[in-house]
């Protein structure tokens, strides 16, 4: 029996990919400094406990603590929508920034979920999954008033989406996000809009609102190549100057 069991388990190995992915994910954490409570199951438990505590507080008149957004996660493909996150990492609002975004927001039921679950649910939704399958580009932007919370959220979201080459994550300043909202755009699209506008002053907000992120990037890239007369390497980011990491 011993030999059979040994032979059976000898066949089971951690694949090269699994080891490499683990190394990459840990290295990303290492670069940001190790968070105190970075363990997923533990964190979920704590988040749930925090949510219960918050409900108690809310009952005692502390609901403003729970219902005040401290961060926002903007998700742009063509549906553009934004999640409002409170200090307890819970989603307290979903807003669509264009027609598709509003339609998607209506279908979603992510209020009061932890932001990670909400982002996961959105990226796995039929609409977004289909767009990703078509190689569309998703931009996720994290912003807010609490730098530490934003840094943490950005780091988690980056890690959750690290395996998807078409999903890009950024941090942004609160003022920039407010300017984006004034224009009726979610932040990810607003940044692309500014870049495109610098290259093509005739572009209008209405036009941009209905374009997908991929269309925007392609147009920016085409114009950049034209104006700078030099080839730029592939990818949707480096060449457009989007800062990675906690850019708050």
Q: Which stretches of the chain bind another protein, using CB under 8 A? A: 1-2, 4-9, 11-15, 18-19, 21-23, 25-27, 29-30, 34, 38-42, 44-45, 117
Least spacing, CB of residue 7 vs another protein, in Å: 5
Distance CA 113, CA 90 (A): 5
Q: In terms of CB distance, is 38 or 69 closer to another protein?
A: 38
Q: In terms of CB distance, is 121 or 207 closer to another protein?
A: 121
Least spacing, CB of residue 10 vs another protein, in Å: 8
Q: In terms of CB distance, is 42 or 103 closer to another protein?
A: 42
Buried b (16+ CB within 10 A) or exposed e, 90-121: bbbebbbbbebbeebbeebebeebbbbebbbe
- Using DSSP's 3-state secondary structure scheme, residue 229 falls into coil
Distance CA 171, CA 74 (A): 10
Q: CB burial class (10 A; 0-12, 13-18, 19+) of residue 194?
A: middle
Provide the token pair at 68.
């005040």
Q: In terms of CB distance, is 12 or 60 closer to another protein?
A: 12
Q: In terms of CB distance, is 160 or 195 closer to another protein?
A: 160
Distance CA 143, CA 172 (A): 5
């Amino acid at each position: 029996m011993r030999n059979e069991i040994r032979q059976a388990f000898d066949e089971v190995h951690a694949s090269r990919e699994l080891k490499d992915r683990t190394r990459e994910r840990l290295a990303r954490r290492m670069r940001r400094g190790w968070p105190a409570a970075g363990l997923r199951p533990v964190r979920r438990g704590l988040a749930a406990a925090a949510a219960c505590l918050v409900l108690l507080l809310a009952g005692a008149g502390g609901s403003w603590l729970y219902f005040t957004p401290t961060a926002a996660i903007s998700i742009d493909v063509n549906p553009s929508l934004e999640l409002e996150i409170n200090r307890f990492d819970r989603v307290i609002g979903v807003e669509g920034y264009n027609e598709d975004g509003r339609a998607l927001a209506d279908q979603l039921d992510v209020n009061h979920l932890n932001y990670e679950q909400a982002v996961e649910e959105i990226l796995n939704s039929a609409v977004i999954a289909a767009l990703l399958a078509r190689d569309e580009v998703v931009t996720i932007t994290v912003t807010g008033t609490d730098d530490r919370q934003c840094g943490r959220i950005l780091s988690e979201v980056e890690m959750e989406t690290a395996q998807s080459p078409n999903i890009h994550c950024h941090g942004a300043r609160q003022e920039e996000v407010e300017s984006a909202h004034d224009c009726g755009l979610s932040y990810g699209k607003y940044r692309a809009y500014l870049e495109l506008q610098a290259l093509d002053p005739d572009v209008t907000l209405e036009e941009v609102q209905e374009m997908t992120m991929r269309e925007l990037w392609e147009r920016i890239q085409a114009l950049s190549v034209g104006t700078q007369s030099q080839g730029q390497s592939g990818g949707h980011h480096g060449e457009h100057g989007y800062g990675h990491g906690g850019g708050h």
